[in-house]
Amino acid sequence: MKLLIPALIFCMTFAVAGAASAQSTPSNPPKADAETHLKLGNTLFDKGDLDGAIVEFRQALRLKRDYPEAHYFLGNALYGKHDPDGAIAQYHEALRLNPRYVRAHYDLANALWMNGDIDGAIAEFHQTLRLKPDDPEAHYNLGQVLAVKGDRSGAIAEFRETLRLDPSYQLARQGLANEQLLEKTAPESKH
């Protein structure tokens, strides 16, 4: 009986170890979770492989449908592939899942702007700034969109705020100078 117990323990240990190694062999790799696909997608995105990144982000979403980060990064990849409508849809979905997702508001604003939806872009830049009021980039881009819309005083205010937050922001300094010059030379019907 004394010999039988150690032999039985050895056999059980060998069987458990064999089963564990059979689970993750090269021919049978462990299944990746949504987060793993998201990380791989970001790695591919950073390397410039947008098609590969899109595949990985979509796989992450197949595994976890309500994953705002995967929707957001898929939006970035689609935008990089010159699909602003697809990007906008993904940013909207990320924001439906997480309304306080600052980067999603910011990138949605930029995608709307580039897609010609000036009012939508302005609204999203305002939402970005409600959530992160000290973001000089968002103030600068809002100033740019307001300038395009013809709201000179709004643009000037945003460029000034950008410079208050980041005095070295040269593009804001140029934008401010341009708008101030246009304001001085504009006809009496100022905005």
pLDDT for 30: 52
Task: Annotate 16-44 with DSSP letters as a single string.
Answer: HHHHHHHHTBTTBPPPP-HHHHHHHHHHH
Judge residue 83's burial from the number of C-beta atoms within 10 Å of its C-beta, 0-12 exposed, 13-18 middle, 19 or more buried: middle
Say if CB 57 and CB 38 are below 8 A apart. Answer: yes
Q: What is the DSSP letter of 150?
A: T
For domain 122-185, give the CATH number.
1.25.40.10
- Statement: residue 72 has pLDDT above 80: yes
**pTM as predicted:** 0.79
What is the C-alpha separation between 47 and 40, in angstroms, rounded?
Answer: 11
pLDDT in tens, 153-177: 999 999 999 999 999 999 999 999 9
Q: Assess whether the region 33-98 and the region 122-185 belong to the same CATH fold.
A: yes
CATH fold label, 33-98 = 1.25.40
Domain chopping of the chain, boundaries: 33-98, 122-185
